[in-house]
Amino acid sequence: MNPSFEPKILAFLCNWCSYAGADLAGISRIQYPPNIRVIRTMCSGRVDPLFIVNALDEGFDGVYVGGCHIGDCHYQDGNLYTLKRFDALQKLMDLTGISRNRVHLKWASAAEAQIFADNITYVTQVIRDLGPFERDSRLLPLQAMKRTLTSQRYRWLVGIDRKITGDKNVYNEKTPVPLFEKVFSEALQGEYQKALVVECTKDNPLSVHEISGRTGLPPYTISCRLNELSQDGITGIGRVDGRTPKFISRAA
């Protein structure tokens, strides 16, 4: 590890709490590492996970999202949506092999300047210990993450999470949280695997075994995902070499 390495961290700060806490830390001359580059947002709930992945793709070593404490959101429940999205993002990062410790979600009120400074100090050290984010070696999973996060299925499941597990249906029943989490995790894995296949086959037709070599996915799994993608009209056979079909993506 390079002992002189200092991480570059993008910080999305809620206007009403974390940003105000950062402001108070500056006024109070509380010291914390100068590694963050701040973007002020009206609510942490406005931070789309895609923004976080884009930050990593643009050369940041980590991302920090700062919001209000649960129950204190200026917009009532914006940070509850943040919490759900962040949990989903970390599950996705586990699938990619990119450490979930590169992204952090922390709460601090407008009056908690020291807590804000402590949060930044902690996160900076964690990311410093991880070392530089090697973007060039992570291009495939980064692009697949972006495709997953913009997929209709992912957006729909994240959007209905709190409603389907919190509200009763016409039969006066709620969907158990563990059941929804299981369905969501399986769907997330499937969408990410399909995204990997699409990204691999965007430019050149590839066989199942060639896709397997690039993604690390088993050939059987790739065949299943190719079948799903073919039914949706996203991939098809680009050419046949001998007896080996090679698949190409029609997605943008």
Token representation of residue 21: 């806490």
Residues 238/246, Cβ–Cβ less than 8 Å: yes
Rg (CA), the chain: 21
pLDDT in tens, the chain (252 residues): 567 899 999 999 999 999 999 999 999 999 999 999 999 999 999 999 999 999 999 999 999 999 999 999 999 889 999 999 999 999 999 999 999 999 999 999 999 999 999 999 999 999 999 999 999 999 999 999 999 999 999 999 988 887 888 888 888 888 898 999 999 999 999 999 999 999 999 989 999 999 999 999 999 999 999 999 999 999 999 999 999 999 999 876
Topology of domain 9-134, per CATH? Answer: Rossmann fold (3.40.50)
Q: Tokens 């299925």 label which residue?
A: 153
Residues 117/38, Cβ–Cβ less than 8 Å: no
Topology of domain 151-249, per CATH? Answer: Arc Repressor Mutant, subunit A (1.10.10)
Q: Tokens 């789309």 label which residue?
A: 48
Which residues are CB-contacts of 198 (< 8 A; sequence separation ≥ 6)?
144, 147, 229, 234, 235, 249, 251
Domain ranges for the chain, please list them.
9-134, 151-249
What per-residue confidence (pLDDT) applies to 162? 78
What per-residue confidence (pLDDT) applies to 99? 96
d(CA 197, CA 212): 9
C-alpha 122 chain-centroid distance = 21
From the CB of residue 177, how many other CB atoms can be counted at a distance below 10 Å? 12
Indicate the DSSP class of residue 168. Answer: -
What per-residue confidence (pLDDT) applies to 1? 56
What per-residue confidence (pLDDT) applies to 166? 83
Q: Tokens 């990410």 label which residue?
A: 192
Token representation of residue 70: 């649960």
d(CA 153, CA 61): 29
What per-residue confidence (pLDDT) applies to 159? 85
* 78-80-81 Cα angle (round to 5): 70
Indicate the DSSP class of residue 69. Answer: P
pTM of the model: 0.91
Q: State the DSSP H helix or E strand holding residue 38, giving kind and residue range, or none if neither.
A: strand 36-41
What per-residue confidence (pLDDT) applies to 171? 82
